[in-house]
Structure 1
Amino acid sequence: MSSPRSFTSDLTANGQDSLTDLSFQLPDPADEHISEPEFLQQIEQAWQVCDRFDLQTDIWRGRILRTVRDREKRGGEGRGTGFLNWLKDREISKSQAYSLIELADSADTLLAEGLLEPESVNQFSKRAFVETAQAAPEVQQLVSEAARRGDAITRREVRQLSDEWTAMTSDLLPPEIKEKAANDTIPTRYLAPLVREMEKLPESHQDTLRTEVALNPDVDTLKQVTAEARYLSKYLAAAVQVQALNRDDLNLEQALEEALRVGCLNATADLVNQAAQLEQAVAKLYTAWQRLKKLADRVYVDSGASTPHLRSLLDCLGPLSSEIIEIQLGEAESSFSRTIRLRLLSTDAEA
């Protein structure tokens, strides 16, 4: 990997000489002669200096971390143990480290591809830069052009450009909606969420939702269809995980269409999602129960009359390690207290 161009932008455009000189003047909060707009403007300017300084610092931290990691990959031992120890010594979590490395990679890619000039980094807020790095190449180009013009780039501008690009280029949106977005009749911020949800769906459902939007190209319909698309994707994703629904006599698509027709798609999607969670919880419960039984048996064999307190501990855990699990929900004296009993039987036990 070739070395990317370096950058050191003048973050302090007010005439200060050094990047490390951040002794800017803050307004006196007790000064009654300064107007509220002027006070907020001075605060915003100071905040932007810190934000941009943080951005460049984090990019360089990411480059440092990447260098340490790559050195470990080349000559280290213990599958990255040296890198992890280096992080531990500096109280940096692994996720934080790789987040900074990703930021550095994004910055170097944008610079190497000519999408970003070194001095243009000064135009970005930290979150706007991260958002740009994750955007489509066409959006990155639009943002870079705005930065070169000297525009201040915030996360809001990046998202707006991304939404506009999605609205104009996505094949999932009908021409009626694109036309209204182009003449600002419908804000583009309502279109991107719909596209993101529709991308998760099979083509048949995409066609249905596209037709619905084309017939009623307005904001209320967009909101409704976006919600429907979200519940549809939730339903389809959860349904394939539920073993109880893996039956030849069940038509999931027909059940879905009926839920749409009677207006209970939201509840049906949540129903299937809860079923998936319950099956997963049962599997985890059974595994934990078996493990608990084996450990209880081992401790029982290893203990004896000389360990009355240890035997007492086993007796207390008996309701959890027996065939019928019993737990108390709530305080015993409370009127809301409930005793829950679950009987666990596997096919092996029945045999």
Structure 2
Amino acid sequence: MVETAPSSAEIAAALQTPTDFNFQLPDPEDEEILEYEFEQQLDEVWKVCERFDLQTDIWRGRVLRAVRDREKKGGEGRGQGFLNWLKNREITKSQAYALIQLANSADTLLAEGQLDPLSINNFSKRAFVETAKSAPEVQRLVSEAAQQGDRITRREVKQLSDEWTAMSSDLLPDEVKEKSAEGGLPPRHLAPLVREMEKLPDLHLKGIQREIAANPDIDTVKTLTSEARNLSKYLDAAAQVQTIRDASLDLEMALEEALRLDCLNTAADLVKQASTLEQTVAKLYTTWKRLGNLADRLYVDTGASNPHLRSLLSCLDSLTNEVIEVKLDDAGENLVRLRVITEGNH
């Protein structure tokens, strides 16, 4: 592990890659080359291309960041120069900020000593991005593996992340951790369970912990992961439904009954759809009010000398009136009518 931040010269040396490629690819029609030798030669070339891709994008991100920051300091502050710079190079804003984020991640990892510049070439581009987004503990594990010469792909990053999540979590019983350490329970199955359990209040964790401790096997882990996910979805959605909050309903008792009847997934979907409907109605009302206000304003601004605009307003009466009418198909055979009835000050 690097104790101090690397110098600019070290970073430059680590990121220096020849731009003039002249690879000698094996002849695909040469039957004398064994299959594994053929794949090995191509894999070596591919790794060089991946390194070049990663290093180039890091530097492109640094260039874009410099252009953006220069304009922030001395430009007009509206970002037009930065946008023109992107336009001239046919780069979208999303691509630009993705590259800047990559450069920021690289600089952070290097500055904090989490990553030896000399080990950057052991990463694939996707693995580097995933590492930068991981927890500091996972970054250390990945960096140590890279410094030992291991090839780091996104798969290795995910594996190390799952191992750290499973073994460091206080939510899993010791029996489960011991079985995982012995190889009987792969971390890739435990990590999703831990992530779902982290979303739950303590009240709902004990039952899951008792069951996984009593049956520390893959099938139980998968079942409990699904149950925890549905439970989290139920609790989150129920807390957002105004209709439920205004009612004298014991959500915990309803939850217990759903668990006993093995219909938690259905109950979770029910409250989720209820939440979606409430949000949709609120958005519908806001849009309906805005549409009516615009129609009133246009009516005032027009007169009999503007028959086409008046015709436009007449056509939209079915949407601006108290009763909203919308056809559900092109033929008009299915029609829905909604009456807007409001109470209070609106």
TM-score, with length taken from structure 1: 0.88
Shift of 1:251: 1.7
Q: Is the 2:127–2:153 Cα contact (8 Å) retained in structure 1?
A: yes
1:57–1:348 Cα change, 3 Å = same
The alignment status of 1:76 with 2:81, answered yes or no, reads: no
1:263–1:75 Cα change, 3 Å = same
| Distance in 2 (alpha carbons) for counterparts of 1:9 and 1:151 | 17
Q: Is the 1:10–1:19 Cα contact (8 Å) retained in structure 2?
A: no
The alignment status of 1:178 with 2:177, answered yes or no, reads: yes
Map of 1:58 onto structure 2: 57
| Distance in 2 (alpha carbons) for counterparts of 1:10 and 1:76 | 31
Shift of 1:28: 4.4
The alignment status of 1:343 with 2:330, answered yes or no, reads: no
Map of 2:278 onto structure 1: 279
Q: Is the 1:231–1:266 Cα contact (8 Å) retained in structure 2?
A: yes
| Distance in 2 (alpha carbons) for counterparts of 1:33 and 1:301 | 86
Q: Is the 1:325–1:342 Cα contact (8 Å) retained in structure 2?
A: yes
| Distance in 2 (alpha carbons) for counterparts of 1:29 and 1:326 | 66
Q: Secondary structure at the match of 1:258?
A: helix
Map of 1:293 onto structure 2: 292
Q: Which amino acid aligns with 1:227?
A: S
Offset from partner CA, 1:96-134 (integer Å, 9 cap, x none)? 333222222221222223222212100000111111112
Q: Secondary structure at the match of 1:347?
A: coil
Q: Which amino acid aligns with 2:102?
A: L
1:322–1:168 Cα change, 3 Å = same
Stretch deviating more after TM superposition (189-198 or 244-253)? 244-253
Q: Which amino acid aligns with 1:343?
A: R
Map of 1:109 onto structure 2: 108
Offset from partner CA, 1:298-326 (integer Å, 9 cap, x none)? 22233333333322222222211111111
The alignment status of 1:7 with 2:12, answered yes or no, reads: yes
Map of 1:127 onto structure 2: 126
Offset from partner CA, 1:198-241 (integer Å, 9 cap, x none)? 11111111222111211111101100111111111112222221
| Distance in 1 (alpha carbons) for counterparts of 2:27 and 2:266 | 55
Map of 2:223 onto structure 1: 224
| Distance in 1 (alpha carbons) for counterparts of 2:287 and 2:6 | 51
Q: Is the 2:6–2:117 Cα contact (8 Å) retained in structure 1?
A: no
Shift of 1:81: 4.9
Q: Secondary structure at the match of 1:331?
A: coil
Map of 2:245 onto structure 1: 246
Q: Is the 1:303–1:311 Cα contact (8 Å) retained in structure 2?
A: yes
Q: Which amino acid aligns with 1:341?
A: R
Q: Which amino acid aligns with 1:104?
A: A
Offset from partner CA, 1:72-100 (integer Å, 9 cap, x none)? 33333335554445444444343333322
Q: Is the 1:4–1:108 Cα contact (8 Å) retained in structure 2?
A: no
Map of 1:262 onto structure 2: 261
1:286–1:89 Cα change, 3 Å = farther
Q: Secondary structure at the match of 1:106?
A: helix
Could you tell me which runs of 5 or more consecutive residues in structure 1 were left unpaired when the two chains were aligned. Answer: 12-17
Q: Which amino acid aligns with 1:107?
A: A
Greater relative contact order structure (CA < 8 Å, 6+ sep): 2
Map of 1:14 onto structure 2: none
| Distance in 1 (alpha carbons) for counterparts of 2:208 and 2:83 | 48
| Distance in 2 (alpha carbons) for counterparts of 1:36 and 1:224 | 43
Q: Is the 1:7–1:119 Cα contact (8 Å) retained in structure 2?
A: no
Q: Is the 1:167–1:191 Cα contact (8 Å) retained in structure 2?
A: yes
| Distance in 1 (alpha carbons) for counterparts of 2:141 and 2:153 | 13
Q: Which amino acid aligns with 1:329?
A: L
Stretch deviating more after TM superposition (129-138 or 86-95)? 86-95
Q: Is the 2:162–2:187 Cα contact (8 Å) retained in structure 1?
A: yes
Q: Is the 2:71–2:77 Cα contact (8 Å) retained in structure 1?
A: no
1:140-219 aligned at under 5 Å gives the runs 140-219=139-218
Stretch deviating more after TM superposition (28-37 or 116-125)? 28-37
Q: Is the 2:302–2:309 Cα contact (8 Å) retained in structure 1?
A: yes
1:258–1:300 Cα change, 3 Å = same
Could you tell me which runs of 5 or more consecutive residues in structure 2 were left unpaired when the two chains were aligned. Answer: none
Identity of aligned residues (%): 65
1:10–1:347 Cα change, 3 Å = closer
Q: Is the 1:27–1:39 Cα contact (8 Å) retained in structure 2?
A: yes
TM-score, with length taken from structure 2: 0.89
Q: Is the 2:6–2:110 Cα contact (8 Å) retained in structure 1?
A: no
Q: Which amino acid aligns with 1:258?
A: E
| Distance in 2 (alpha carbons) for counterparts of 1:52 and 1:191 | 32
